[in-house]
Structure 1
């Protein structure tokens, strides 16, 4: 996984999607309703993240002469993981919405996919730092634990 996808935006995007799935499940939403809610929420939060990143980059980066356009481009690049981390669970939810798989299978698969994505992000972050494989595994498990916490929350809410 390239380093530009291993960002706090990727982790945050995955947790946001998982949280949306948990909340939608608490209301008994269908896969279609959950899919629409996730997509809408991700787009709004991503836009806010890009905006905040551009404002900070423009205002704080005084070491170089940064234009607002450059700040927006950098923020877009940095926030790409926010969107890409939401794609796999959203595809699974869409499969449920299209009745290719039952709603419950789509929802649970999307949640477990979030756990997997978090694990890959954790592993990749430690790999990029050159950590030995036991530390990479621990990093993966620690990051994936956030996704498991979302699943436990769904069980409690449901």
Structure 2
């Protein structure tokens, strides 16, 4: 047998790339912008962290389900001669939209801490918003890293993507 043992470094690098490419999607950016927008809207109604958490979680799941549905319908035999089954289209859509759901986890966790009164409501809301900025920056930086861009371009990508989070924070400040 001439099969060589897999190199652990190659496996780790492939896994990191797969995770990064799977998470660095437009769905991830859209998910965190949606969460931030929901926090801003809830803050406009003087909602508690608990009320904000419930509305954000509910909205994220509805939008995620709608995204999966739309992706399944759009990916199921729309091209003549394409014999993609409904199940295959569904699995592709779920895999593609995971970033939407995953990007919402950390801000929602912070909101949950506020809802459980582990931290004050205002701190939970502002921390979740700033965490959104950080996640957006990481997504932008990662997108340009995957493409092999130079450091200045990666930083510009991070700042450009984070600008959506800064816009949400500006909206929250204006509303309050």
Shorter-chain TM-score bucket reads over 0.9
Alignment match, 1:134: 152
CA–CA distance in structure 1, aligned partners of residues 51 and 37 of structure 2: 14
CA–CA distance in structure 2, aligned partners of residues 80 and 43 of structure 1: 11
Corresponding residue to 2:56 among 28, 35, 38? 38
Moved over 4 A (4+): 61-64
CA–CA distance in structure 2, aligned partners of residues 147 and 62 of structure 1: 41
- 5 Å-filtered alignment, 1:1-158, equals 2-61=20-79, 64-158=82-176
CA–CA distance in structure 2, aligned partners of residues 16 and 147 of structure 1: 10
Superposed CA offset, 1:16-45 (max 9, x none): 000000000000000000000000000000
- Of 59-68 and 83-92, more deviation after overlay is shown by 59-68
Q: Which consecutive residues of structure 2, in runs of 5 or more, have no partner in the other structure?
A: 1-18
CA–CA distance in structure 1, aligned partners of residues 81 and 100 of structure 2: 27
TM-score by length of 2: 0.87
The answer to whether the 8 Å contact 2:77/2:83 transfers is: no
TM-score by length of 1: 0.97
CA–CA distance in structure 2, aligned partners of residues 127 and 53 of structure 1: 27
- Paired residues in the alignment total 158
CA–CA distance in structure 2, aligned partners of residues 76 and 58 of structure 1: 13
TM-aligned CA distance change 1:70 to 1:129, over 3 Å: same
CA–CA distance in structure 1, aligned partners of residues 60 and 36 of structure 2: 11
